[in-house]
Chains A and B, each alone.
Chain A
């Protein structure tokens, strides 16, 4: 290769990873082609910026993270101008000017200015104590703050923010992470992995606030804390902004180079000026900008090839991410957003805290998300980048490289196997896992034998699936299996009863946690299991459960009944079917004000207002609330109505105050969520004008007391009630009602009404629990009342006051002038 006698001068703006790597690549190809000058804004040699996190965490020192020391610059005759940033480029004169006034001529100019941290424009962003996380000076500032201990807030729950939080936490600060989005690292992780990560970080003492929007940073002369848009205040002596980066393109733009989000470059990293190149985070290549290190290496290779007359070119990068928080293993690569023809392969191993998801399309891996066990991350990434055909590996792919090349078998029962010996399997009879296993080992090798010997699964039968799993685990191949297990849905191999038992046993409290611990085979469930899980969790953990509105059917999300034209009907509660002029006037006013096309009396003795638009619902509710009315829950898998007749107050046949009892029953039970809709009626005499014998719970008043009936419904398959028992007082009638509802709430499958549930478990079982067992009845009643203490909040009043108003508003509106023009 020949060189001009006078070597060309290559000037590099940026002494960071991209600039120096590009120089290394050029020197490796042809050490004699260029004379090199590098300008750096920071007064130090080239160091590995991605190792700032371990530096902050105290796992590395500055010397450990230096890539090129002074000797490298000297050996290669590179002129390093550190601490004197370039402030302008003169393309006509082919010079750059530094802050000090120094002017330098170039033949080729390389812009490698990287990116700038994004500062969210909130009041207080310039207060002392607010820092970014981008360079050594930021780390120094953080270390100085951490010396004093106290509270730190990190704004941003992405890669950088979590690493900063981890470092500060290890340095002894009490750290709160504020993240705008609902899950952490949402650009790299799916919801399931984001949830696991959040739990792990919380387990390490960090506070993680997702869906949290910063309103301002406050303090007198220095930062004292931040305030969120919902009004919460979090004290902090240090605030780290790590919400993102944006390409640093100012120099290039001012010089007139073509730029979009980054400086435009071709496949050899040449900008719109043929003598100016750009590389790294400041560039935009084919519409893409990159904020990770791996693409940068590939760009530097392409750049050096171009400058030294080879023609490979840069074709874009597939990226992968690893979180550098010691002890928490997270990996993501490629596209994990799913897509047409894309198929998920999911593995969850709850006992080891592992979640793996590989996304496959046309027999090729297109993406991977790994949590807990990232050992195979690079293997998947390699298969992805090489676009290898994985058809032959497919069945074993998810178990990793070692397994795919031959390994042990997978135990589908591992969640049950992982339960401790004293975990309770049968709640009815108080039988532990250890007891069941020892019973099986002593010779009980069928379900019936286990039932006969230790009573597990002998009562309500809801633990049958667990007992069968234990038979399978304990007996291995000797156990033939007994029944077709009806699984909850296609996302899981567990039955409804198994899932409910495991939610209690394993203290599962959120939908992603249930899906993880119980090895769901889909990433976010389906429209069958999500509403069921939401119900099971709210039933299991009253007062603690956090609602997931996206797992509610539309009617329960909107607190009204959707109609065929997409409008809603609204049914205000009328206790026991009794109303008054004030309520009737308010309803009449609403019908007129909102031009409701129909108002109708329902079968449950209420008034139903039809044709209300979702935008108008909060205003309608506010008007009804003002007249003292609350939600009638006519839309819910919930207590619907208590229907009554006029009873002894008016009727010549009435034996008791059926209206009064009905009102008391409705006051006690309104607002409770159930597996399905639940209707009550109270009739004042056996003529049964309130039709109590086709209700879920019906009361027939007689001279000597109250007959309690259960398990009736109208509907597709009419079922008359069964007589539960007869009681003597109103209070007893109410107590039995509460206990019965709670038994149904705790043990029926989601979307089973009382009728099919009772047919499955048998009337005798219900009688044994409610009538024969006074202690158990009282316990059920107490659990119902406890649950009610959290659920008797009028959802209409909350919405009318502005809660979740986005559910009732359009995101925007298009006013199409264009329709007029094109018509």
Chain B
């Protein structure tokens, strides 16, 4: 089923090779990333290792390196890359007419899971 989307702002507010955060009241944050090629991805802003804020990591290709202990996380699957094992929830996100749309139910469910 096509998810219900929430418009969270223009894509121009996302720095290339960077990220912005989206807090949800009562829960953790979502991190929204933009790669060098312009694709946009969203993960719960919490590294599976020690809950580091992935939004503050260095984005390269389609992965982000966590700022706390250098775990590399795939922006596409949320899986830890390399030798490390772990996974962070991926939140559906898309660009439509220059606006960032985020999956409403998934965003809330993903955060609920983290909060619980």
Contacts and interface: CB of A to CB of B under 8 A. Distances in A.
Contacts of B29: 810
Interface string A509-531: 00000000000001111110011
B26 A819 contact: yes
Nearest to B6: A814
Contact of B22 (A190, A339, A812): A812
Given A338-B61, A811-B14, A814-B24, A819 B112 contact: yes
Contacts of B16: 181-183, 191, 550
B68 A564 contact: yes
Interface residues of B, number: 52
Contacts of A524: 17, 36, 60-61
Nearest to A814: B24
Contacts of B114: none
Contacts, number: 135
B60 A810 contact: no
Nearest to A369: B37
Interface in B5-64: 6, 8-9, 12-18, 20-27, 29, 32, 35-39, 50-53, 56-62
A602 B16 CA distance: 36
Contacts of B88: none
Contacts of A564: 50, 52, 68
A554 interface: yes
Interface string B95-111: 00100100011011001
A558 B74 CA distance: 23
A558 B56 contact: yes
A818 B26 CA distance: 12
A806 B26 contact: no
Contacts of B15: 182, 549-550, 806
Interface in A635-669: none
A261 interface: yes
B25 A181 contact: no
Contacts of B37: 190-191, 336-338, 523
Contact of A261 (B39, B52, B97): B97
B23 A813 contact: yes
A340 interface: yes
Contacts of B58: 527, 530-531, 550-551, 553
Contact of B61 (A186, A523, A815): A523
A522 to B, nearest CB: 7
A704 B21 CA distance: 58
A129 B12 CA distance: 28
Nearest to A190: B37
Contacts of B60: 522, 524-527, 530
Given A550-B15, A550-B17, A818 B9 contact: no
Given A522-B61, A531-B58, A550-B59, A811 B22 contact: yes
A338 B26 CA distance: 34
A711 B67 CA distance: 28
A527 B26 CA distance: 32
A180 interface: yes
A266 to B, nearest CB: 19
Contacts of B14: 811
Given A527-B58, A566-B53, A191 B22 contact: no
Contacts of A339: 39, 62, 76
A213 B98 CA distance: 15
Interface in A521-554: 522-527, 530-531, 549-551, 553-554
Contacts of B62: 337-340
Nearest to B24: A814
A554 B56 contact: yes
Contacts of A555: 67
Contacts of A336: 37
Nearest to B96: A261
Interface string A235-258: 000000000000000000000000
Most A-side CB within 10 Å, residue of B15, B38, B72: B38
A613 to B, nearest CB: 11
B39 A337 contact: yes
Interface in A156-188: 180-183, 186-187
Contacts of A812: 8-9, 22
A525 to B, nearest CB: 6
B49 to A, nearest CB: 11
A748 interface: no
B101 to A, nearest CB: 12
A169 B25 CA distance: 53
Contact of A180 (B6, B12, B74): B12
A611 to B, nearest CB: 14
B69 to A, nearest CB: 10
A360 interface: no
B42 to A, nearest CB: 11
A766 to B, nearest CB: 31
B22 A814 contact: yes
The residue among A555, A813, A815, A822 with the most chain B CB atoms within 10 A of its own CB is A813
Contacts of A338: 35, 37, 39, 61-62
Contacts of A531: 58
Contacts of A813: 22-25
Contacts of B56: 554, 557-558, 562, 566
21 contacts: A337-B38, A338-B39, A338-B61, A339-B76, A340-B77, A344-B61, A522-B60, A527-B58, A531-B58, A554-B67, A562-B56, A566-B56, A806-B20, A811-B13, A811-B14, A811-B22, A811-B100, A813-B24, A814-B108, A816-B24, A816-B111
Interface of B: 6, 8-9, 12-18, 20-27, 29, 32, 35-39, 50-53, 56-62, 65, 67-68, 70, 72, 74, 76-77, 97, 100, 104-105, 107-108, 111-112
Query: 6 shortest A-B CB distances, which residue pairs?
Result: A811-B20, A527-B65, A554-B67, A550-B17, A527-B58, A812-B8
